[in-house]
């Protein structure tokens, strides 16, 4: 039995930062990682996907080069080079996390699967570590649906597709939400035929209908086949490929492709963590139950990141770390409910989202104002030849506070932060209305949009 002041299980987006803070506070810390340092974001999530999205964008722009008066004779995607670039970028991040932990004085790194064997004891194989304070940052993995014979057919998840160094002739993407759509557009641009199958009545069903429609339109413009309201009933191997049976409005049809990507959601890595041995409570989907400051039901055990079901993003996991560190080390009672929903979808163009959707604002029944602008009317987008999408901002009529925005268009993932910061400042929209922004940018139209608010009917 080895004694520590604190144990951190998992090196996702909160564990390493928490270890550093604890060590800086003079504590003796153990960190346990069973696979790749840096977790999902660094190895099979944000970093590699956005690196691949960048390659796909380069291919797309090269094919469109004549729109800009530039001639490129033949555009060829070298997938081995695309993968090598992705590996270089992701590998650098992984090694940086690993090196920073292994060279951190006061921190001991254990490589292996950590499992609770008691409230204060975690085992890695035969070795047992004990601490009064434990952080669980074990993340999640792709959920696999119970489709008949899917287990007998080779398929990719967001992790295994990271090893692909060829262009799949026809990729069938099961799941038309955030992760699935990024891969769908990226592989179409690499040269695959791509079919997306989604059970919900529309793509990215949590977004407003106009956002969903616009995304579907630009994906279909790139010749991505989209099947919504379609349930996969069976998958079978067919020669070198796969055959997927779908049921839609009582009709059965079949799609034959060469490869499948399963992206229908994520599940937490809590099933093999021995949580029962520690008495840590989980909900019906396996997420660890936490309070507003991220304590579990067991004193001294805290849970951050995807495993607590309170976020699902890298920035929410990092914000979880900040909340735990503030409460545990800084006597600052930060809370999860202090944060404002914010995320992006990294299709091209991207979607930047903050706060409530329009449909959610409508459901609240509050008097609200709305302003919309087509990206076709944004001069910078016009100049860059990237005019797809639109921007939409919602304001509470009485308080004058912005309550939500969906920016689907060029740089929407960046521009949205102007609105996010205003929301954190609890400043009325009139502040943005009177701000002078730089021309020509996408952001310069935010003040203009604030001059053009109308009642939400
Ligand atoms: C394809 C894809 C794209 C994404 N893109 C974005 C994006 O653009 N922006 C964004 O904000 N988010 C994105 N996400 C989500 C983001 O990656 C995750 O929300 C984030 O990585 C969650 O981090 P985490 O701290 O919960 O833990 P993770 O990063 O999941 O890390 C958990 C770590 O714990 C380790 N572990 C698990 N169990 C044990 C155990 N028992 N013992 C020891 N170690 C263990 C794992 O090996 C892993 O290293 C994406 C996700 C995917 C799948």
CA-proximal residue: ligand 1, atom 9 (nearest): 46
Instruction: Indicate if ligand 1 lies below 6 Å from the C-beta of 319.
Output: no
Q: What is the pLDDT of residue 309?
A: 97
Chain centre to alpha carbon of residue 355: 16
3-state secondary structure the chain: CEECCEEEECCCCCHHHHHHHHHHCCCCEEEEECCCCCHHHHHCCHHHHHHHHHHHHHHHHHHCHHHHCCCCCCCCCCHHHHHHHHHHHHHHHHHHHHHHHHCCCCEEEEECCEEECCCCEEEECCEEEECCEEEECCCEEECCCCCCCHHHCCCECCCHHHHCCCCCCEEEEECCCHHHHHHHHHHHHHCCEEEEECCCCCCCCCCCHHHHHHHHHHHHHCCCEEECCCEEEEEEEECCEEEEEEEECCEEEEEEECEEEECCCEEECCCCCCHHHHCCCECCCCCECCCCCCECCCCCEEECHHHHCCCCCHHHHHHHHHHHHHHHHCCCCCCHHHCCCEEEECCCCCEEEEECCHHHHHHHCCCEEEEEEEHHHCHHHHHHCCCCCEEEEEEECCCCEEEEEEEECCCHHHHHHHHHHHHHCCCEHHHHHCCCCCCCCCCCHHHHHHCCCEECC
Percentage, residues of the chain above pLDDT 70 = 100
Q: What is the pLDDT of residue 220?
A: 98
Q: Tell me the best of 50, 109, 138 to mutate to test the pocket of ligand 1, counting ligand atoms within 8 Å of each CB and taking the most.
A: 138
Instruction: Indicate if ligand 1 lies below 6 Å from the C-beta of 42.
Output: no
pLDDT band at 240 (very low <50, low <70, confident <90, very high): confident
- The residue among 126 and 239 whose pLDDT is bigger is 126
Cβ-proximal residues to 66 (8 Å cutoff; 6+ apart), any chain: none
> Could you give the strand order of the β-sheet that contains 170-174, starting from the edge strand earlier in sequence?
225-227, 193-197, 170-174, 259-262
Residue 453 Cα to ligand 1 midpoint, Å, equals: 39
How many whole angstroms separate alpha carbon 279 and alpha carbon 299? Answer: 10
> Does residue 152 have a pLDDT over 90?
no
How many whole angstroms separate alpha carbon 66 and alpha carbon 367? Answer: 48
Cβ-proximal residues to 328 (8 Å cutoff; 6+ apart), any chain: 133, 302
> Does residue 147 have a pLDDT over 90?
no
- Residue 382 in tokens: 């016009």
Residue 434 Cα to ligand 1 midpoint, Å, equals: 40
> Does residue 151 have a pLDDT over 90?
no
> Does residue 149 have a pLDDT over 90?
no
Average pLDDT over residues 145-160: 88
Average pLDDT over residues 240-252: 95
If we measure between CA atoms, which residue out of 332, 260, 259, 264 comes closest to residue 293? Answer: 332
pLDDT digits over 329-354, tens only? 999 999 999 999 999 999 999 999 99
Q: What is the pLDDT of residue 26?
A: 98
List Cα–Cα distances, 137 to 46, 224, 277, 289, in angstroms.
Answer: 17, 36, 17, 13
Instruction: Indicate if ligand 1 lies below 6 Å from the C-beta of 352.
Output: no
pTM of the model: 0.97
CA-proximal residue: ligand 1, atom 15 (nearest): 313
The answer to whether 407 touches 416, Cβ cutoff 8 Å, is yes
Instruction: Indicate if ligand 1 lies below 6 Å from the C-beta of 168.
Output: no
pLDDT digits over 106-130, tens only? 999 999 999 999 999 999 999 999 9
Residue 429 Cα to ligand 1 midpoint, Å, equals: 35
Residue 336 Cα to ligand 1 midpoint, Å, equals: 19
Q: What is the pLDDT of residue 238?
A: 87
pLDDT digits over 197-223, tens only? 999 999 999 999 999 999 999 999 999
How many whole angstroms separate alpha carbon 89 and alpha carbon 109? Answer: 23
Average pLDDT over residues 279-289: 98
Percentage, residues of the chain above pLDDT 90 = 97
């Amino acid at each position: 039995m080895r004694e520590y002041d604190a144990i951190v299980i998992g090196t996702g987006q909160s564990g390493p930062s928490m270890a550093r803070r604890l060590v800086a506070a003079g504590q003796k810390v153990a960190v346990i990682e069973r696979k790749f340092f840096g977790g999902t974001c660094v190895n099979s999530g944000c970093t590699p996907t956005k690196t691949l999205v960048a390659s796909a964008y380069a291919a797309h722009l090269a094919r469109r080069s004549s729109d800009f008066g530039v001639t490129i004779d033949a555009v060829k995607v070298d997938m081995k080079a695309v993968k090598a670039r992705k590996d270089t970028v992701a590998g650098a991040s992984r090694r940086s996390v690993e090196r920073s932990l292994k060279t951190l004085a006061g921190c001991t790194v254990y490589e292996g699967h950590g499992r609770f064997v008691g409230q204060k004891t975690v085992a890695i194989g035969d070795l047992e570590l004990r601490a009064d304070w434990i952080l669980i940052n074990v993340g999640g993995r792709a959920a696999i649906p119970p489709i008949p014979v899917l287990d007998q057919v080779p398929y990719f998840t967001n992790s295994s597709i990271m090893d692909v160094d060829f262009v799949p002739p026809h990729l069938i993407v099961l799941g038309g939400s955030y992760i699935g759509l990024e891969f769908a557009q990226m592989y179409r641009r690499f040269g695959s035929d791509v079919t997306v199958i989604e059970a919900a009545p529309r793509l990215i069903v949590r977004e407003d209908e106009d956002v969903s429609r616009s995304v579907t339109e630009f994906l279909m413009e790139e010749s991505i086949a989209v099947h919504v309201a379609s349930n996969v009933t069976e998958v079978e191997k067919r020669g070198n490929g796969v055959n997927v049976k779908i049921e839609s409005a009582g009709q059965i049809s079949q799609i034959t492709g060469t490869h499948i990507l399963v992206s229908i959601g994520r599940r937490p890595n809590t099933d093999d963590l021995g949580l029962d041995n520690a008495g840590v409570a989980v909900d019906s989907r396996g997420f660890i139950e936490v309070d507003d400051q991220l304590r579990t039901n067991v004193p001294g055990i805290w849970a951050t990141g995807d495993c607590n079901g309170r976020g699902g993003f890298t920035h929410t996991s990092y914000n979880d770390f900040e909340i735990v560190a503030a409460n545990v080390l800084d006597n600052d009672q930060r809370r999860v409910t202090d944060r404002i929903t914010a995320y992006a979808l990294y299709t091209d163009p991207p979607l930047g989202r903050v706060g409530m959707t329009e449909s959610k604002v409508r459901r609240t029944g509050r008097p609200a104002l709305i302003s919309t602008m087509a990206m076709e009317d944004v001069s910078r987008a016009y100049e860059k030849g990237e005019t797809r999408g639109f921007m939409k901002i919602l304001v509470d009529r009485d308080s004058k506070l912005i309550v939500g925005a969906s920016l689907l268009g060029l740089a929407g993932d960046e521009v949205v932060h102007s609105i996010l910061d205003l929301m954190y400042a609890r400043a009325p929209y009139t502040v943005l209305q009177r701000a002078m922004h730089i021309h020509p940018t996408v952001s310069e139209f935010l003040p203009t949009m604030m001059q053009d608010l109308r009642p939400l009917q």
